[in-house]
Amino acid sequence: MKIKFHSLHWDNIDHRIVDAQKRVFDRFEIPMAYTKGNHPHGAWMSDICRNSDADMLVFFDADCVPLDREIVDESIEYATENNSFVGLAQASNHIPPYNHVFAAPSFFVITKTCYEQLGRPSFSETPRADVAEEISYAAESVKKRYKCLYPTRFDGVPVEGVWRLSNYGLFGIGTLFQDRIYHLYQGRFNHNVELFMRRCDQICGGEFDMAGMHDSLKKFNGKIVD
């Protein structure tokens, strides 16, 4: 089986984020293909899925990293065995119906055959969908099962308040999914860049510290986005 890994970063991203992510991928021997350029995220993913000769495609946002290699391999195994896809659970709180949970593109694994069978849908945004959300809608329309990895804890609160994940729980800056995938979010802020660098250093050193993180499923006394 031919597997290809892809990550996109725009010209305006802080180079420290890309460098930190590369250290993690090097640590886990993940052969990442990097694309640098101001390509629309969804169009870029669509183009790769439609034109790649790979049997399996794995995408990572520039500010998303695994805590171990096994979670990547397990996601590939699930997608292979079920001819399906895996992604981080997300709900677009700014797009109606506001509570649709879908497999987000920040970490996304899909077989080429599954993508073809779904009709090669676009990953681009639509009036009802954020990037990659139409893939989940397409699967749901034909009752195709797919897998989402749900948030377990997060480091900090976004400037607008913690985000809801439908009726499940909360996620925010520096969210852990299943305690094994870390997604920063809002890397445009310098203090978040420094957080990501520190977390990547911890991952590379095998010493990721979850102490002090907010529990995604427990009561939160801060501001929550409705």
Positions of the chain with pLDDT lower than 70, given as ranges: 226
**pLDDT, tens digit (0-9, with 9 covering 90-100), for 34-55:** 999 999 999 999 999 999 999 9
Q: What are the chain's domains?
A: 3-215 (3.90.550)
Is residue 155 within 8 Å of residue 211, measured between CB atoms? no
Q: What confidence tens digit (pLDDT) does each residue in 156-177 have?
A: 999 889 999 999 999 999 999 9
Q: What integer pLDDT is reported at residue 226 of this predicted model?
A: 63
* SS3 category, 180: coil
For the purposes of burial, counting CB atoms within 10 Å of the CB of 127, is it exposed (0-12), middle (13-18) or buried (19 or more)? exposed
Instruction: Find, among 152, 159, 136, the residue nearest to 86 by Cα.
Output: 136
Full-model pTM? 0.96
